[in-house]
Structure 1
Amino acid sequence: MTRSSLAGRWGYHITGTALAILFLSPLLWSGWASLRTNSGFGLENYDRLFTSDNGIRLHHVVNSLTVSALTVIGTLLVATLGGYAFGRFRFPGRDLLFLLTLAILMVPYATILIALYVLLGWIGLQDSLIGLSLVLIMFQLPFSIFMMRNSFEAVPRELEESAQVDGCNSVSTLIRIMLPAVKPGLITVGLFAFLTSWSEFFAPLILLNSTDQFTTTLAVVNMRTASHGSIDYAALEAGVVFMAVPCLLLFAFMQRSYVRGFTSGALKG
């Protein structure tokens, strides 16, 4: 191994380690702060998180899981069909429609939440988990359709043509041939949809009014003591760790497919 290649490898590892420390330090600090008590270290902060009057309750977690599940399912369904149409079919206005879909990314979603709140009231979904899920699905679609279109385009057309020769129609080809081939892209889209919906705060804050409908993020923010309006920061840090653990576990299990989805789909074109 030459001196230059050795120096390049060391530089790669040092840079990677520095970036890992930079990104992990806030989470590690939150974990340390969540365990720190007046008498040392323990789980007292987590006990207050789940037992205080304004702490996290089971229905908050169920609400977050419901919103996340609906968002993931809806995003995968629409993005798969949209990506398949954009990636495999030719129709008038296809490129313009795709650009309009991507243009949603340029609109700060906070600027239209009030309008969406009014719209949900018109259709009877105001202050509901289904209405919140529909809004989150809408904001996931530009990236998700982009990912799925590129994932479908990366699949060799010979596979699709062979299926059609065997008598498969478009739907059968999509289900039997294309979906297994774009599995990394599906996992990437689903993972992004879950992470966004699970940790989303601003949209639930605007769209949900009833405390029974609150998600875990709203419950964590409401962790305030009644004494002089002070904030229980230690319990808040415990809430941050509680919110982060499912995301970390899910990413750890799906990391390989997640990276493969980006390299085979999103980076194409």
Structure 2
Amino acid sequence: MTTRTARRRAAGLGYYGTAGALAILFLLPLAWSGWASVRTPHGFGLASYRNMIHYGDGIGTYLRNSLEVTAMTVAGTLAVSLLGGYAFGRFRFPGKNLLFLATLAILMVPYPTILIPLYVLLGWLGLQNSLAGLAAVLVMFQLPFATFLMRNSFEAVPQELEDSAAVDGCGTFTALTRVMIHVVRPAVVTVGLFAFLAAWNEFFAALILLNSSDKFTLPLAVVDMEGRTFGSIDYPTLQAGVVFMAIPCLFLFLLLQRSYVRGFMSGALRG
């Protein structure tokens, strides 16, 4: 075995060993939650999942609320960031750079500090204690990074491609929807996945903006499962809720991981 081959093999072992260790490190809490969700004082079973399904207004209510908020958040984030990123990346207009910096400046503000003013604003708009109001707030939180990613992705597209679409008779909006959006599809997937994960797992904003239990999302319902009479906590039911929430996130990430990595590398790391 040559020295170069030995070094290459050692580097491969180090890479896969590090990747395997990190995978175990991140999956261990989820594996522990799955084990704790089926462990009861009397052995192992699915009683905790039955308790979770029938908890409060029913898991179906909380699941529907989370799906509605997530769908509105993903759709709103994609629509606005696509148009905004396209405008910032392909057009010139007065105040463009200043407006873009103002958009990114929102990232510097800790979002919990503005939830109370947003709660008052939603009251003026008649959206307090509503899923649509919560989704609007989550879209606002996602837009700075989403617009930044889409702008960089559109900037990476050769101008000749857009010129060819114009020669074929495509207007600005037609070129965006029929040509450009397909070129930046990895970035679109990345933005959508980020928006999904943020909306699906959001707890603090939902805690502040939602008051009625029948409008609770899954994170609120799972945390509410923790509170029991006499100060006791039903850990198996709580962990069943954690597993139930984690499954869609794992499934989507594994399904879209290639597009996610390509979109993140081509957009977020570009100057």
After superposition, residues 1-269 of structure 1 pair within 5 angstroms as 2-52=5-55, 54=56, 56-224=58-226, 226-269=228-271
- Letter of the structure 1 residue corresponding to residue 108 of structure 2: M
Q: Would the aligned equivalents of 1:86 and 1:98 in 2 still touch at CA under 8 Å?
A: yes
Q: Distance in 1 between matches of 2:16 and 2:58?
A: 40
TM-score (norm 1): 0.96
Deviates further, 218-227 or 187-196: 218-227
* 8 Å contact from structure 1 (residues 56, 220) kept in 2: no
Q: Which runs of 5+ in 1 are unaligned?
A: none
Displaced runs of 4 or more, over 3 A: 224-227
Q: CA deviation at 1:266?
A: 1.6
TM-score of the two chains, using structure 2 as the length reference: 0.95
The answer to whether the Cα contact below 8 Å between 1:223 and 1:236 also exists between their aligned partners in 2 is yes
Unaligned runs of 5+ in 2: none
CA RMSD of aligned residues (A): 1.3
Q: CA deviation at 1:229?
A: 2.5
Distance in 2 (CA, whole Å) between partners of 1:87 and 1:41 is 56
CA-to-aligned-CA distance 1:78-112 (integer Å, 9 cap, x gap): 00000000100011111111111111111110000
- Structure 1 CA distance for aligned equivalents of residues 41 and 209 of structure 2: 38
Distance in 1 (CA, whole Å) between partners of 2:124 and 2:37 is 43
- Structure 1 residues 232-269: Cα deviation after superposition (integer angstroms, max 9, x where no partner): 11111000000001111111111111111112222222
SS at match of 1:126: coil
Amino acid at match of 1:128: S
The code of the aligned residue for 2:68 comes to T
Secondary structure at the aligned position of 2:127 is classed as coil
Q: Distance in 2 between matches of 1:225 and 1:144?
A: 36
75-84 vs 243-252, which deviates more? 243-252
1:190-215 CA distances to partner (integer Å, 9 max, x unpaired)?
11101110110000100001112111
Identity percentage of aligned residues: 64
